[in-house]
Each structure stands twice: as structure tokens, then as C-alpha cells.
């Protein structure tokens, strides 16, 4: 509900008018009311863009929070600590009560042989390092990164999550989440956790290209887990700029994205804005998380939240849905993407 101020509002720091316009929703069974637009930390590193501008990234984080975004997600894997470090610098000048921050464990290095480690020892070491890089005494959410890439869910449930529970008990974290691409595995893990998982983050599974997340929204609601719907732009595919060379999608999929981008450019609209608006119509999700590396893209996405689409943009979106995005696409699994993030 927009209009009321969330507990994260800090008078004198926030832009009160924008905070009142932002919609905030309860995140599952947690006591967090999160902004409908959330800031993803993957683009606060060189993971996707070797020319990442750190100073611009820092200013973008600060402006995002002042504008009412109160949920920020990062991970050790994003730039091998760079995202957490940049975020830590950005948050130095932000009141701690003004935001919720989530980080992850389980996925670390670019080398496929050393990328994943779900052991208790590595998890313990990882959380300690993340808190140091972020410069925080605690995070709001600790998540197991890409549970669909674990050797089995047994290690996640018996080794990884128990360590996260230790940190919650010690006051170093408040809630526990899981993330992944395979929605079936997310559902199975949440069910087997029997109440120990509070949040699921699904990426690129409710977009103009793929609506697979719908399959388990009812189950997630019954499990009382909050749903974070991430990557509305399908890792850059659904934008006028188009996908980068590392994108894991097939040539057919990428061609569909390029075709949509050409139509948008011809008609003077931004495909990324249409993609974000479309994803945000998903009922039952608490927040929609995307990477926003600069203030220009921040404004485009805030515009989609605050003002919706113009009649011309609505017209193009309808045309694309009827003529371009006529079927659901996916690009396989988390594992099929691991060697592409270089």
C-alpha cells in the first residue's frame, strides 16, 4: 500500500514525497515491509560489465534508498566480493534503519571447479567475510545462492542452513532465504525445510519470455514464504541495449529479444521499462529485484513504478505480447550458465 511511511523511513534523509508514492508489501511471514522495487547487487560489480563505474554505482545506491527503495540484495559471487565492498562504501553514509540488506552463501568463484561450496565451514567463513565487506554488524537476510546447483538438497538442509541459523541466533542475521533458477527445486527445498526458510528468490522466471514461476506461487503462499521475483530483464536480454556476449540463452531466444528491442527503438520506447512493468503485475510476489548500475536506469525503473506506462508504451507492450512473445522460453538451468559469467 502506498501513501503510508514504512518503518525504514528516516526524516531528513529520505525524499518523503517519493517514499509515500512507493508501494511496500509484507515479505511472506517476516515482519519486513519491502519496497515493490528492490535493488540487485550483481551490477554493482564488474561481473556483467568490465567498465563498471564504482562512483556512479555508489551514488545510485544512495539515490535509490532516498527514493524509497528499502531492499538491497548482494552476494560474494558478484565480482568476488566487489559488490559487497561497493555496497559497504555506499551504505556508510546511509542510516542503518533506512534499508534491509540481503547477502548469500554457496556460490563464490568464476572457476567452475571452485564456484560452489555449500559446506558448513565455507558458509561460516563466508558470512563473516560478507559482514566485514559490508561494514555491518548484521544483515537482514542470509540466502543460500542457487540451491539448484548444490550436489543435493541434503547438504543445503543439513550443512548450509544450520550455519545460517547459528547467525540468526547470534543476532547477525534476521531471516533465511534460498535462491535459484529452477522453481521446482526452490519449491522442494522450501517444503523440506519445514518452516526454516522464510524467503525464496526466483530469477528470470516471470518475464515477457517465461512465466514458469506461476507454477508454484500457490505453494509458496501456503508455505508462508516471501517471494522475490528477480531479473525482469532476463539478464539484460529484455532491454533496448540487448544481451551481452555471455548471455546463457539460445540464439533463438536472443533473436527474439533483439527483435523486440528493434521494435521498441523504432517506436521510441525502452523495452526494459516494458519488461519491468509486465513482471510487476505478478500477484503474490513481495518485491521485484533488478540490477541498476546507474542513476539513468534507476529513473527509468522508478518511472515504471510511480507512473506506470503511457498509452503509447501500453500499445507497444500489447503488440509485443501478441506478436513477439508468443510462447514461454527458458535457457536450461543454473548450471548451464556458470561458465558464462566471466
Q: Is residue 71 a part of any domain in this protein?
A: yes
pLDDT tens string 232-250: 999 999 999 998 888 888 8
Lowest mean pLDDT, pick from 130-144, 185-199, 242-256: 242-256
Q: Is residue 46 a part of any domain in this protein?
A: yes
Query: For residues 46 and 103, which has the higher predicted lDDT (pLDDT)?
Result: 103
Position 258 confidence tier, pLDDT thresholds 50, 70, 90: very high
Q: Is residue 302 a part of any domain in this protein?
A: yes
Q: What is the CATH number of the domain that holds 192?
A: 3.20.20.100
pLDDT tens string 324-337: 998 888 776 554 44
Q: Is residue 4 a part of any domain in this protein?
A: no
Q: Is residue 104 a part of any domain in this protein?
A: yes
Lowest mean pLDDT, pick from 20-34, 58-72, 244-258: 244-258
pLDDT the model gives residue 12: 97
* Options 71, 78, 108, 203, the catalytic residue: 78
pLDDT above 90 for 303? yes
Which pTM value belongs to this model? 0.95
pLDDT tens string 209-220: 999 999 999 999
pLDDT above 70 for 259? yes
Q: How far apart are CA 119 and CA 160, in angstroms?
A: 6
Mean pLDDT of the residues in the chain: 94
Helix (H) or strand (E) holding 240: none
Q: Is residue 6 a part of any domain in this protein?
A: no
CA triple 228-221-249, angle to 5 deg: 40
| Active-site annotation holds for 167 | no
Torsion-angle region of residue 101: left (phi > 0), alpha (psi -120 to 50) or beta?
beta
Closest CA to 301 of 269, 274, 266, 261: 274
Q: Is residue 39 a part of any domain in this protein?
A: yes
Parent domain of 160: 16-340
Cβ–Cβ < 8 Å for 203, 230: yes
pLDDT above 60 for 266? yes
Q: Is residue 136 a part of any domain in this protein?
A: yes
pLDDT the model gives residue 291: 94
Domain count for the chain: 1
Which neighbouring-strand residues pair with 291? 40
Amino acid at each position: 500500500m502506498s501513501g503510508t511511511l514504512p518503518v525504514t523511513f528516516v526524516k531528513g534523509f529520505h525524499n518523503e514525497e517519493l517514499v509515500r508514492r512507493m508501494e511496500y508489501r509484507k515479505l511472506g511471514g517476516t515482519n519486513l515491509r519491502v519496497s515493490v522495487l528492490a535493488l540487485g547487487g550483481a551490477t554493482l560489480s564488474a561481473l556483467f560489465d568490465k567498465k563498471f563505474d564504482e562512483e556512479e554505482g555508489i551514488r545510485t545506491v544512495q539515490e535509490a534508498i532516498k527514493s524509497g527503495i528499502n531492499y538491497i540484495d548482494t552476494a560474494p559471487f558478484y565480482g568476488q566480493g566487489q559488490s559487497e565492498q561497493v555496497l559497504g562504501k555506499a551504505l556508510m553514509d546511509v542510516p542503518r534503519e533506512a534499508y534491509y540488506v540481503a547477502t548469500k552463501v554457496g556460490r563464490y568463484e568464476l572457476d567452475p571447479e571452485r564456484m560452489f561450496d555449500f559446506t558448513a565451514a565455507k558458509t561460516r567463513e563466508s558470512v563473516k567475510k560478507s559482514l566485514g565487506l559490508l561494514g555491518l554488524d548484521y544483515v537482514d537476510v542470509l540466502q543460500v545462492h542457487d540451491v539448484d546447483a548444490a550436489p543435493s538438497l541434503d547438504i543445503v538442509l543439513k550443512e548450509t542452513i544450520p550455519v545460517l541459523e547459528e547467525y540468526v541466533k547470534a543476532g547477525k542475521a534476521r531471516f533465511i532465504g534460498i535462491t535459484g533458477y529452477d522453481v521446482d527445486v526452490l519449491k522442494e527445498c522450501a517444503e523440506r525445510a519445514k518452516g526454516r526458510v522464510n524467503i525464496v528468490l526466483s530469477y528470470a522466471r516471470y518475464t515477457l519470455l517465461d512465466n514458469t514461476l506461476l507454477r508454484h506461487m500457490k505453494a509458496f503462499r501456503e508455505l508462508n514464504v516471501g517471494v522475490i521475483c528477480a531479473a525482469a530483464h532476463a539478464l539484460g536480454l529484455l532491454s533496448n541495449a540487448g544481451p551481452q556476449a555471455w548471455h546463457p540463452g539460445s540464439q533463438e531466444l536472443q533473436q527474439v529479444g533483439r527483435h523486440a528491442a528493434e521494435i521498441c527503438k523504432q517506436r521510441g520506447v525502452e523495452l526494459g521499462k516494458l519488461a519491468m512493468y509486465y513482471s510487476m503485475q505478478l500477484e503474490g510476489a513481495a518485491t521485484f529485484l533488478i540490477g541498476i548500475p546507474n542513476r539513468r536506469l534507476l529513473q527509468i525503473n522508478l518511472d515504471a513504478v510511480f507512473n506506470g506506462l503511457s498509452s503509447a508504451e501500453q500499445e507497444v507492450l500489447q503488440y509485443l505480447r501478441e506478436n513477439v512473445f508468443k510462447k514461454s522460453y527458458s535457457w536450461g538451468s543454473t548450471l548451464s550458465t556458470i561458465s558464462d559469467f566471466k
